[in-house]
Structure 1
Amino acid sequence: MFKSEQIQLGISACLMGEKVRFDSGHKRSHFCVEELGKHVKYQAFCPEVAVGMPVPRPTIRQIRKQDMIHVARPDGSGDVTEAMQAYGKKVAAKMQHLSGYVFCAKSPSCGMERVKVYHENGSGSESVGVGVFAAEVMRANPLMPCEESGRLNDAIIRENFVMRVFTYHKWQCLVETGLTKGKIIQFHSQHKYLLMAHSLKAYKELGQLLAQADFDVQTTASLYIAGLMAGLKNKATRRSHTNTLQHLQGYFKKELNKWQKAELSEQIRDYRNGLVPLLAPLTLLKHYLLAHPKAYLQSQVYLDPYPADLKLRYAY
């Protein structure tokens, strides 16, 4: 059961529809506001307004000067680099309550990647930068899932981001209750097949980490969540989902008759070959789980990693 009303995400204010852009406009994200917004609360930031820039205002860009990146107007005036870095450090240090962040793509302040960096002599630009504010947020919160608005138009990237947000939120809730060895092991047990679908390597390594007879809770917890979030960042594929589905299928080998086994195998095979979406074999597995309850499988986050009304698994 999701405590989604408690999930808080950071977001660029313009993506919420706030008219804070240089031209008094916005870049309202339908997905963030209308769809994901049903399940999360947002804390909006506009670093450009926060450092005193007016609305409307002259455009700013990243300019490389003697191997240093500056944020200023195209002619180099109105440099706000230091002010924006200071603001970024200040607010980034107070984001431990956030479970994710959505940045405005390509912005010199908020772009997560591929921000244009212009040459001082005016001889062109390269899309190699990171927004000054975004860089501070990500540096201070390396585990927090971050994505930018443009990339969320990709269905697989969108699904992966939301899945990581809900997973990270569950971990944050666990930490608030006080970590113990048993709680960490139980958390891992519930997320094993979700992790398997994204990174078999991380699945094995984290299993070995928690298999140690006597581990220090805090040290192991830090290593575990870092490994989990890194593993989940990998995009799942039809091949990796198929492997996971086949593992789940194995739990019903004694309960299903030969026709039911054949039907489930066919659904998984059709999914692997791209003939049906992931929901097809998952729905059948859930049907058999209702008919033949298994507490371990029912606890698996893989079956329902986020609210179904987000319709994110249609991408697979």
Structure 2
Amino acid sequence: MSRCLLGEAVRYDGGSRHVPWITEVLSHHCRLLPLCPEVEAGFGVPRPPIRLVGDQERIEVQLVEDPSAYRTDQLSAAIGRLLPVVEQLDGLILKARSPSCGVHDTPLFDTAGESTPGAGLFTRACLSCKPQLVIVDEQALVSEAGRVGFLLQLFRRHHFPTL
């Protein structure tokens, strides 16, 4: 669970993106484990914004304000420390568009500055480590149908892991 979605002020700008349904409803039915790869990497709060650059084969974490500065090694190490925890989970709710946690809409910039949407580094690592993991972003939980769909996937994953 992205910590910022639980209301914790851990985003790069010092803010949060609290999703009340998670803390007021889901928390009564599921164990929530707050995670933030960027904080785990020691980037601090607030912190300079980062972005993903490269291509699908090689992705680097670059500071937006200083394109010569990279944070790939620090974020990769933090992700490596979080993966043993992820292996024990049935699902994750992550922050959309985040360079670390985005599910499908994180911009990946090429050398020309053009972007294509994809998954953040943490999300990619989670899916490589545990492909059957149920992963959504907070945007998938806006509608009742999205929330029910997520809960059904979690139920199936938890109670029938081999199906």
Q: Deviations over 1:163-200 (max 9, x none)?
A: 1112222236xxxxxxxxxxxxxxxxxxxxxxxxxxxx
The CA RMSD measured in Å over matched residues stands at 2.0
Distance 1:125 1:163, change over 3 A: same
Cα–Cα, structure 1 residues 135 and 171, in superposed 2: closer, same or farther, change >3 Å? Answer: same
Q: Tell me what 1:133 maps to.
A: 122
Moved over 6 A (4+): none
How far, CA to CA, are the matches of 1:67 and 1:169 in structure 2? Answer: 32
Q: Does 1:40 align with 2:30?
A: yes
Aligned residues: 162
1:117 aligns with 2:91: no
Given the alignment, which residue of 40, 45, 59 partners 2:49? 59
- Look up the SS of the partner of 1:126 in the other structure: strand
Q: Write out aligned runs for 1:2-13 (5 A).
A: 11-13=1-3
Q: CA deviation at 1:67?
A: 5.9
C-alpha deviation, 1:160, in angstroms: 1.4
**Corresponding residue for residue 83 of structure 1:** 74
Q: 1:65 to 1:102 in 2, by over 3 A?
A: closer
Percent identity, please: 31
C-alpha separation between the residues in 2 aligned to 1:19 and 1:78?
A: 25
The runs of 5 or more residues in structure 1 that have no matched partner are: 1-10, 173-224, 229-316
Give the conservation status (yes or no) of the 8 Å contact 2:55–2:108. no
2:157 to 144, 168, 175: 168
Mapped to 1, the partners of 2:132 and 2:56 lie a distance apart of 32
Q: Which residue, out of 139, 148, 153, partners 1:159?
A: 148
Match of 2:131 among 133, 142, 157: 142
- CA distance in structure 2 between the aligned counterparts of 1:94 and 1:54, rounded to whole angstroms: 21
If each structure's strand is expressed as a fraction of its own residues, which one has the higher value?
2
Q: How much has 1:17 moved relative to structure 2?
A: 0.7
Contact 1:102–1:148 (CA under 8 A) maintained in structure 2: yes
Q: Secondary structure at the match of 1:107?
A: coil
* Secondary structure at the counterpart of residue 86 of structure 2: coil
Q: What's the secondary structure of 2:59's corresponding residue?
A: strand
**Equivalent-residue separation in structure 2 for 1:100 and 1:22 (angstroms):** 24
Aligned residue identity for 2:140: R
Would the alpha carbon gap of residues 52 and 100 (structure 1) be closer, same or farther in structure 2, given more than 3 Å must change? Answer: same
Greater CA radius of gyration, 1 or 2? 1
**Residue 92 of structure 2 aligns with which residue?**
101
Q: Deviations over 1:224-266 (max 9, x none)?
A: x2xx3xxxxxxxxxxxxxxxxxxxxxxxxxxxxxxxxxxxxxx
Using the size of structure 2 for normalisation, the TM-score is 0.88
Given that 2:41 and 2:75 are in contact with CA atoms closer than 8 Å, whether structure 1 keeps it comes out as yes
* Displacement of 1:126: 2.3
Unpaired runs of at least 5, structure 2: none
Name the CA distance, whole Å, in 2 between partners of 1:66 and 1:104. 21
The aligned amino acid for 1:137 is: C
- Would the aligned equivalents of 2:140 and 2:146 in 1 still touch at CA under 8 Å? yes
TM-score, structure 1 as length reference: 0.48
